[in-house]
Amino acid sequence: MAIKEPEVLNPFEVAVAQFDVAADRLKLGQDLRAILRMPKREVSVNFPVKMDDGSVRMFTGYRVQHNVHRGPSKGGIRYDLHVSLDEVRALAMWMTWKCAVVNIPFGGAKGGVIVDPHDLTIGELERMTRRYATEIASVIGPESDIPAPDVNTNPQVMAWIMDTYSMHHGYSIPAVVTGKPLAVGGSEGRMEATGRGVAITTREACHALGMPFEGARVVIQGFGNVGSISARILHEMGCKIIGLSDIFGAVYNESGIDVNLALAHLKDHGRLSGLSGTTPIDGNDLLELPCDILIPAALEGQLTQANADRIQAKLIVEAANGPTTTEADEIFHERGIPVVPDILANAGGVTVSYFEWAQNLQHLSWAESEVNARLEQIMVRSFNAVNDIRKEKACDFRLGAYLLSVSRVAEAAKVRGIYP
């Protein structure tokens, strides 16, 4: 088995439990707790799509908007067989805190369709995407809710959604989605943004903790867009990548893996298996390798009560959303293993999505160097704000990030009040 199957747990319960810890420390009143605990809007859709063979297949999709007190909701769309309403609820809530921790004017949303897109032809995928976009068109928009890519979706999918939404309105509306191709209003630097943000945050965390960064041994679970870019940039920064995995398996080399060679091998073979100079290992064992930095960049629920005692990393940086359960978090805290939470570590993607949205609304285009410089500034500033709270409140990084983000959203909710 390549990547550890998550335990049967409810991701929304994990998200709410994380919120409750921060709410307790902030002494939030029951009214605010009730408002911030629940999604603002949930849309479930069941829709038909005509397959290439002429048959009709039904699909189920969701769009959840958790909070809009600080601005339009923002969040990705994923295509996966394991998509569920509670998963989408959890991801939407995490997006609210993620946007707040980096102080960009968005709330949180998320969407998904229950499907394995690899089972569809390109034509079927386009028709399914356009029909899903039509089903949720009444709740998305550049001033209300702006989707983006997530698991198994990409710039092409975003282009189809943008085109579908635009056709309904009779003119082009590029700001309805982010993560688009450059040809239709995408931003330079967007594809690398999440991985670049992970690398920047990892560097800042090492400096804050007094850990050596250059030469640090890094294990990365997941070699998709986020994991591969994190690996490449960390490698360029001087880290030693000793373990990598994808959905097919994991590879290991204590002396270091040539990330550029791994990227070329993946492009040629579609998987990491067989990468020259590496030893194949079980995906579960990858997480438990002795290393300085562990970066889970796959799916949620990978670090659990079942394996937390065997994790040998000195620092964990969450590139994936929700990879650590509440129980595992407590074990890491007791063991003195710092965890940089997802809402901070992987916020580079939504930050550059914000840049893309702003460029679209203003009909501007920034150079990649400007995008990367602005991203660096926001990620460093956000990390320092969280780290200051961590030291002031004598808490861990996750609670520091939640205290910062929840307080910002709570303040917006109080100031706006309740209508009518």
- Which residues are part of the catalytic machinery? 110
- 150 closest CA partner among 112, 200, 188: 112
d(CA 207, CA 380): 12
The C-alpha atoms of residue 147 and residue 172 are separated, in whole angstroms, by: 16
